[in-house]
Each structure stands twice: as structure tokens, then as C-alpha cells.
Amino acid sequence: MPNRLAHETSPYLLQHANNPVDWRPWGEEALALAKQEGKPIFLSIGYSACHWCHVMEHESFENAGIAKLLNERFVPIKVDREERPDLDQIYMNAVQILTGRGGWPMSVFLTPELKPFYGGTYWPPVAKQGLPGFDQILEAVHEAWINNRERVTETADQLTAQIQSISAAVADTTGSPSLGLLDAAGRQLERSFDPTYGGFGAAPKFPHAMDLQLLMRLYARDGRSEWLDMVRVTLDRMAGGGIYDHLAGGFARYSVDARWLVPHFEKMLYDNALLARTYAEAFLATGDSEYARVARETLDYILTEMTDPAGGFYSAEDADSEGEEGLFYTWKSEEIREVLGEDDGDLMCDVYNVSPLGNFEGRNILHLPKTLATKAKLLGEEPVEFTHRIAKLRKKLLAARSHRVRPGRDDKVLVGWNGLAIDAFAFAGAALAEPRFTAAAKNAADFLLVNLRTAEGRLLHTWRRGVAKLAGYVDDYAALANGLVTLYEATFEERYITAAVELVDEMLAHFASENGVLCFTADDHETLLTRSQDLTDNATPGGNSLAATALVRLGLLTANEAYLSAADRIFAAAVPLMERASMATGQMLLALDLRLGPTPELVFCGDGARELALQRQRHYEPRRVIACRPGVGATSPRLEALFAGKPTSGEVTLYECQQGSCGEPISGVAAIQRSRNPR
């Protein structure tokens, strides 16, 4: 018989709806029950694409004996961390304090007052390999709750005080941001760089998209080739590695080894959005068409597999299918020959390093030890023709793979992650001259603005199959506002600037604290143990970092000094973190780079202005904003200050403005095209 999760919309919660555990969603009913019965809460937090979450479900939450213990002695609550990042953030801090590490599934025991007193991550059902059994944990926690309540309460109070201290740990808001911070960040990245395989640090390796973007901006500032070399080695190795899906495009979340060979096979929307933008930027910065190819294939993967018919983008695909991690993506050599025939099969096995022994649990992860161009030369083939031949063979393998059982897909639409995807699609649409990507960004933005906004203009966080719910977090407002600015620059439809300004105004009204740092939750959000402020990035850019980015861009485009001042307050608070932990503040450093400038406002007006403005975006200019009025179309009052005194019809003209003043207008197509400064 289904439990109370059967009425939820989250795919992760629905995965647990038939467990014998009497799961309840987080809410008033479950929290009141804990107080009424005086029982501790067992809070389990995970997400649908999490491999070890699936393992713990099958081992423990489908176990009748463990379910009996949970149901009789605790109030079991299941939470999707992607729906409730506020809860995940608070209780992850508790687990890290208790154990020195974190991860998912997250397992935390709370008092009825929601104070944590014990926790961890994955526990096997019975003790093994040095890990305590979940059955032992449940017995010990119950015994402590019944017989040593005073000590439990004391621990909970102390732990709560520590969490509240961490959450509000923005003490110094008087820092002075400078260009030196950017250079120092580059030097820190250089020290942790792997010159052989690219990336930063040892295994497991994550892509670090924001750090790669920062290195490209540093190169654009001083022309130091080492910055760009680090980017190229990393992007080349990732694109050739097993972390990249060579058949359908798109990247897995991270590599378990230093070589980018063996991925953790789950695919997340945010990784693919961030990396697609990074590869598109690298194409502009280097002219290397391979980076454009990877960006296109990654965005095409999102369009093919991760896009709802209504316009929004889905969240994730699992690592597992048919109960095995990576089964969908891996091959045996005989399977390839069966699809392609002996000769073509041998060629593909050679090119993608497929062997009878395999490189992953007896099967093969496709990867490219040598680029296709290099391989063509070694085989005496013409590179372009060879590449086309391999592309046709890849399509045949992809078609064969499509008949396999696919990994599960989390088809909820999250506003913040969609904001990152809108930014990527809009940027790539302009940078790569791909109108279909721009159209996808528009469809998603229009969908969100209609379906995930209240009548009062506030954002909701999540949508699935027609149901939108949960109050938006600061990340949602900041990511969507930033994506809308990029979409404006790709379309010059001024309604997107209007919408971005409305979101930023709501964000500042409901999330700003006295010190200028934005809180993760709004001022009218559900009361939790703490209302956190966070200046760091995680797998995604942090809310304050994205907010600073959007505020700088909108401040320049709308001539609103209040937005620039709001960004400056965030920068001032983030200086100590940027100094000591640059790899945790990549997006903040990108925003600071834009703020420190020089950041010209490029204003195109007149007949043919749109085409010239779009051409300008096919060059690498990371520090600028672009506006355009070609003399037709609806206008936004938010941009009136920027266009004041600039005729929007007649001969096409470019105005290059900065800090409230403009240089001599440049008129005529030829003169404008000659004027571009590549740096």
C-alpha cells in the first residue's frame, strides 16, 4: 500500500512511495505529529539521480524489519534536496560538523523542535566493511532518546548553535575588491592544475566551469598564454574522456579518476548548461571549431532528452538503468561489431579504445585517447572525411543504444537550473549563430515567467506536469534574472529586461539583509532553524554570486546606481572568501571582473542595428553589455536612460559608453565593423 509520498510531484519522493517505511513529506502534519507523540524525526534527504540513494532505498527502506523500527520509534520524513535546498543546506552543515564529511543520501535525526542531534550519510542495513549497520544506528538512537534525553537535548542545542553561527558567518562586509584578487585567483588555480590531464586537484574530478571561464577572462586581460593553455588542456581532455557522451552529447557530473575516463554517469542540467556556455566561450576565445561542436552537441542533448513540451528543461538523468550503474552508456566490443559489422566495428573499437577486457566492470566506456584528426593522420586518412565517417558510425551506435532501457529521468523543472540553461542557450545562440538555441531559451523563459510566478510577481521554485509549488529561493531569482539579461542580448526583445528588473527588485526587497548580503530564503519564508547567508559556489553558482552578476549587468544597462551599489555590498562581504578560497568563489570573481571593467556599454541604433549587434557577439568580449534598438518593436522604460538622445532610426550607429559618458558615435556598417577592439 502506498505511503503518504504517493501524492507528491517529486520523482525522487515518488520513488519511495511504495516503501514499507511510513514516509511523510516535510510539512505541518509530519512536524506536528513528532511534537504530539514526542518522537524524534528521522530525516532522509537525497535526489533522484543519486546512486547511493537508490542503494540505501533497496537495502534499508524496502526492508520490512528496518521499516518497522522507523515506523514505531520515529517520524520518518523524506525530502528531495533539489526541491528543498534550504533544508538540505541546514542539515548538511549538521552532518559535516558531526562526521567531518557530507554527501547523499543524508540521514539526520532531529528533535521534535527540528534540532539535529545525530546524522551521517549512507549506512548499510547491517554492519559491514567497518560501517555500522542502520539497524544498530536505529537501536542506539532510540535508546539514547528514551534513556538519555537530557544529553540528546544538550547535543542538539550545541549543534544548532554551531549551524546558526555558520549560516550567519558573514562578519566582515568592508572588504576592498581589486584586480589583484583576480590575478591571485588565477595563481591559485595554476597551483592546483593538473598539466597532464587538465582540471584541478586529484580524483574525483569535477569540471569547474566557472573557474575555466575565469581563466579565459584573465587571458583576455593580460594575454598570458598559460591561462588559456590551462583551459584548452582541460576542455580537450574532458571532451575526449568518458565523462563526455560521445554518442548523444552531454557531460556526466564528474569523473571518479584523474583522467576523465570513468564518470559518475548521472547527467545534471546545471553541469551541461555551465559547460555548454564554457565551450561556446572557448570557441570565441580560440577559434577552435571543436569547442563549438561540443557546445552544440551538449545543447542538442538537452533539447532532445531534457526538454518538456511546455518549454522548461528537466533536472537530471540517473546513473543507473536495470539496476546497474553505467549500463546504458557502456559497450562490449562484440556489441559494437554486431551493430556496425566487422570492419567498421574494428575501426570504432580502435578509435574509442574498446577492448574485450573493458575499462569499466567488463564493459567499455567510449573515449578518445587521440583526437580524430590525430587518428586520421596515423591511419593515413584525410581528416575531414575521416571525421564524417566516424560521425555516421556514431549515429548508428546511438540508434542501437536508443533501444536499451534508459536511465530514470527527473522531469521536474527547477527555476534556478533553468535560468542557467537559458543563459547557456541564449549565449550560444548568439555566439554560434544558432537561432534554434535562442528559440529554446525564449521558450523556456516564457514558460517560467507564465507558469512559475505568482500573481504578485514572486517566483515559485519547481514545476512538474502542470503543478508549480514552493516559494523560490535567492538562486531562482538571481539565475533567472541573469539568464533573462543574456536572452535580451541575444534577441533585443526589451520585455526580457523588464522581467529581469522585476525579479531583481523582488529579490532585493525580500532577500537582502542589513549587511547587504542576500539570504538564501525570503523574509516571509517558512521559519527554520536559521536563515542562511552563503557567498560560495557549489556545483552551481551561488545565489549571491549570480545576484552580483545580474546586478552589475542590469545596473549598466538601466543606468541604475542602486543595483551597482547592491552588487558592491556583496563584493565587499565576499573579499575574504575570494582571497582564501578562490575555487569556491568562481562566479563571484567573474562578476567582480565585470564590475572592475573596463566594461563598455555598446549601444546599437538605427536600420540594420540588430544584425551588427549580433555580429559583435560572435567575438570574445567578456566585459561588455550590449543594447540595441533598430527602430521597431516594443520598448521598455527601463532602458530609456541608455537610449536617451540616441536616434533609433536612420543610419546605423554604434555608441560606446562607459561610466555615464559616450565616445564619438560610429556610423555606417563598415566603420562599425572596423571599430571592434578584440580585447
Q: What is the pLDDT of residues 121-148, one digit of tens each?
A: 999 999 988 889 999 999 999 999 999 9
Q: In sequence order, what are the residues at sequence separation of 6 or more whose Cβ sits closer than 8 angstroms to the Cβ of residue 184? A: 579, 582
Q: Which of 255, 266, 254 is nearest to 328 (CA)?
A: 266
Distances (CA, A) of 572 to 178, 546, 567, 580, 594: 10, 15, 9, 14, 15
- Nearest CA to 333 out of 292, 297, 364 is that of 364
Q: Transcribe 392-432 into DSSP letters.
A: HHHHHHHHHHTTSPPPPEE--EEHHHHHHHHHHHHHHHHHT
| CA 325 remoteness from chain centre | 22
* Direct distance between the N- and C-terminal alpha carbons of the chain, in angstroms, rounded to an integer: 64
Is the preceding peptide bond at 576 cis, omega within 30 degrees of 0? no
Give the count of beta carbons closer than 10 Å to the beta carbon of residue 555. Answer: 21
In contact, 296 and 275? CB cutoff 8 Å: no
**Cα(26)–Cα(401) distance, integer angstroms:** 39
Whether the per-residue pLDDT at 494 is higher than 60: the answer is: yes
Residues 6 or more apart from 534 whose CB is under 8 A from it? 89, 167, 520, 542, 543, 544
Whats the size of the chain, residue-wise? Answer: 679
Count other Cβ atoms within 10 Å, centred on residue 228.
18
Encode pLDDT of 255-310 as tens digits.
999 999 999 999 999 999 999 999 999 999 999 999 999 999 999 999 999 999 99
**Residue 117 burial by CB count (10 A; 0-12/13-18/19+): exposed, middle or buried?**
buried
Of residues 97 and 631, which shows the higher confidence score?
97
CA R_g for the chain? 26
Q: At what angle do helices 149-167 and 134-147 cross, to 10 degrees?
A: 110
CA distance 46 to 66: 19
Q: Which three cell numbers stand for residue 622?
A: 567578456
pLDDT of residue 668: 93
Retrieve residue 207's grid coordinates. Answer: 569540471
Specify the pLDDT at position 403: 97
Domains, the chain, in order of start with CATH, read 4-167 (3.40.30.10), 182-321+410-596 (1.50.10.10), 329-403 (no CATH), 601-674 (no CATH)
Q: What whole-number distance in Å separates Cα of residue 668 and Cα of residue 653?
A: 6
How far is 21 from 335, CA to CA, in rounded Å?
Answer: 41
Question: Is residue 165 a contact partner of residue 123, using CB atoms and an 8 Å limit?
Answer: no
Q: Which of 109, 114, 95 is nearest to 139 (CA)?
A: 109
> How far apart are alpha carbons 647 and 452 in whole angstroms?
37
Quickly count helices (H) and strands (E) in the chain.
Answer: 26, 20
Residue 399 confidence (pLDDT) above 70: yes
Question: How is residue 323 written as a grid cell?
Answer: 539496476
Can you give the pLDDT at residue 634? 73
Q: If you average pLDDT over residues 196-222, what whole number do you get?
A: 96
Beta strand 661-662 pairing with 653-658: antiparallel
pLDDT, position 678:
41
| pTM beyond 0.85 | yes
Region 98-110: mean pLDDT is 94
